[in-house]
Amino acid sequence: MKPFLSLLALSVLVACAPAEKAAAPSTAAAVQYSEFNTTATIRDVMNALIDPNADALWNAVRFDKTEEGDHEYRPETDEDWLAMRHAAVSIIEGGNALMIPGRRVAPPGSTTEFPLYEFMPDEVQAKLDENRVAWDAFAQNLQAGAIQTLGAIEARDAEKLSEFGGALDAACEACHVQYWYRPAP
């Protein structure tokens, strides 16, 4: 019985011993990143994080008239409010992503469908490079609107959610006037 207990104790010690560390990948195999990964462009951040989540917030409280009658929409369930919270947080973090230095507006050679009405990505990039402080201020205003909206969501106040959605829209439009829409001829 003693040899069995000794073997059992040895097995426990071996099993509990720290595992050897895995070897670090060779320098050639390691992926090299700067402080931030800026693979996604500003256009990507707008399309993936900011636009769909802003739409979710703007559509959260609304009144629709249809042939079937009038219908008022507002968050009601815990799940509804949680979805709104996720949307607001996504916009806040999207604002952070917009401010990361080195992130390009769009891939090289990108265009727009409406060049008479919208700045081309390389024009936006030039504006951004010319005055980075202004760009960051617009992103921070977007975040401020989303943070205000987040407060309404946490209070479960649909009226304030709607009101602050207007402030969020104003922050978006102020930036778009500077960096997206061409001036009217």
Regarding pTM above 0.85, the answer is no
Instruction: Give first-to-last CA distance, the chain, whole Å.
Output: 96
Counted domains in the chain: 1
Q: Which domain holds residue 175?
A: 34-179
For the segment 145-164, what is each residue's pLDDT rounded down to a tens digit? 999 999 999 999 999 999 99
State the CATH number of the domain containing residue 153: 1.20.120
For the segment 64-107, what is each residue's pLDDT rounded down to a tens digit? 888 888 888 999 999 999 999 999 999 999 999 999 999 999 99
Cα separation values, 38 from 44, 150, 185, Å: 11, 27, 35
For residue 8, being part of any structural domain is answered with no
Strands (E), 47-183: 62-66, 69-73
Contacts of 74-81 with C-beta under 8 Å, sequence gap 24+, read: 74/158, 74/161, 75/153, 75/156, 75/158, 75/161, 81/153, 81/156
For residue 39, being part of any structural domain is answered with yes
For residue 24, being part of any structural domain is answered with no
